[in-house]
Structure 1
Amino acid sequence: MDTTLRDGEQTSGVSFLPSEKLQIAKLLLEELRVDRIEVASARVSEGELEGVKKITHWAAEKGYLDCVEVLGFVDTPASVDWLTEAGAKVLNLLTKGSLNHLTHQLKKTPVEHFAAIEKCIHYANEKGISVNVYLEDWSSGMRHSRDYTLELIAFLADQNVKRVMLPDTLGLLKPAEVAEYVGLVSEQFPEVHFDFHAHNDYDLSVANVMEAINHGISGIHTTVNGLGERAGNAPLESVVATLSDFTTVKLNVQENKIYRISKLVEQFSGLHIPSNKPVVGENVFTQTAGIHADGDNKKNLYFNDLLPERFGRTRKYALGKTSGKANILKNLLELGIKLEPEELSKVTQKIIELGDRKERVTTEDLPYIISDVLQNNSIKKDISIEGYHMTHSKGLKPTVQLKLKFKDQFYEAHASGNGQFDSFMLALQKIYKSLNKKLPKLTDFSVSIPPGGKTDAFVETVITWDYGRIIKTKGLDSDQTVAAMMATEKMLNIIEQIDSGNRA
Structure 2
Amino acid sequence: MIRLIRSTGRYVRFSAEDAFRSDLVDLLTVFDAVVEAGVQRIGLPNTVGIATPRQVERLVALCTERYPQVGIEFHGHNDTGCAIANTVAALEGGADCLDVTVMGIGERNGIASLSGLIAQLYIHYPELLETYDLTQLALLDHFVSECLDLPIPFNMPITAPGAFAHRAGVHTKAVLKNPRSYEVLAPADFGLIRSIDVGSRFTGRYAVGHRAAALGLRLSNDEVCHLTQALRERAECGSLNQEEVDAFIHSWWEEGSVSRAECSGADIALREGNQEKGSVTWEP
TM-score interval, smaller chain: 0.7 to 0.9
Aligned partner of 2:29 in structure 1 is: 151
Aligned partner of 2:85 in structure 1 is: 207
Contact 1:201 1:231 in 2 (8 A): yes
Aligned partner of 2:19 in structure 1 is: 138
Report whether the alignment pairs 1:292 with 2:171: yes
Report whether the alignment pairs 1:218 with 2:100: no
Distance 1:314 1:125, change over 3 A: farther
Task: Pick one of 235, 254, 259 that aligns with 1:355.
Answer: 235
Map 1:352-391; keep pairs closer than 5 Å: 352-357=232-237, 359-378=238-257
Map 1:410-429; keep pairs closer than 5 Å: none
Alpha-carbon deviations, 1:177-233, whole Å to 9, x = none?
112211211111111111111111111111111211111111111111111111111
Distance 1:304 1:373, change over 3 A: closer
Task: Pick one of 84, 105, 122 that aligns with 2:4.
Answer: 122
Aligned partner of 2:203 in structure 1 is: 323
Question: Aligned to 2:128, what secondary structure does the other structure show?
Answer: coil
Q: Which amino acid counterpart does residue 205 of structure 2 have in structure 1?
A: K
Aligned partner of 1:161 in structure 2 is: 39
Q: Which amino acid counterpart does residue 303 of structure 1 have in structure 2?
A: Y
Deviation at 1:262, TM superposition (A): 1.1
Segments of 5+ residues of structure 2 without an aligned counterpart are 260-284
Question: Aligned to 1:166, what secondary structure does the other structure show?
Answer: strand
Q: Which amino acid counterpart does residue 122 of structure 1 have in structure 2?
A: L
Map 1:275-286; keep pairs closer than 5 Å: 275-286=154-165
Contact 1:343 1:374 in 2 (8 A): no
1:301, 1:352 → 2: CA distance?
26
Aligned partner of 2:266 in structure 1 is: none
Task: Pick one of 185, 188, 194 that aligns with 1:306.
Answer: 185
Aligned partner of 1:232 in structure 2 is: 110
Contact 1:201 1:230 in 2 (8 A): yes
The structure with the largest helix share of the pair is 2
TM-score, with length taken from structure 1: 0.47
Aligned partner of 1:81 in structure 2 is: none
Q: Which amino acid counterpart does residue 368 of structure 1 have in structure 2?
A: A
2:180, 2:94 → 1: CA distance?
36
1:356, 1:231 → 2: CA distance?
35
Report whether the alignment pairs 1:180 with 2:58: yes
Q: Which amino acid counterpart does residue 248 of structure 2 have in structure 1?
A: I
Aligned partner of 2:49 in structure 1 is: 171
2:7, 2:127 → 1: CA distance?
32
Identity among equivalent pairs (%): 25
Deviation at 1:348, TM superposition (A): 2.2
Deviation at 1:288, TM superposition (A): 0.7
TM-score, with length taken from structure 2: 0.80
Deviation at 1:374, TM superposition (A): 3.4
Contact 2:205 2:228 in 1 (8 A): yes
1:284, 1:269 → 2: CA distance?
21
1:330, 1:163 → 2: CA distance?
55
1:190, 1:211 → 2: CA distance?
18
2:215, 2:247 → 1: CA distance?
15
Segments of 5+ residues of structure 1 without an aligned counterpart are 1-116, 381-504
RMSD: 2.4
Contact 2:171 2:182 in 1 (8 A): no
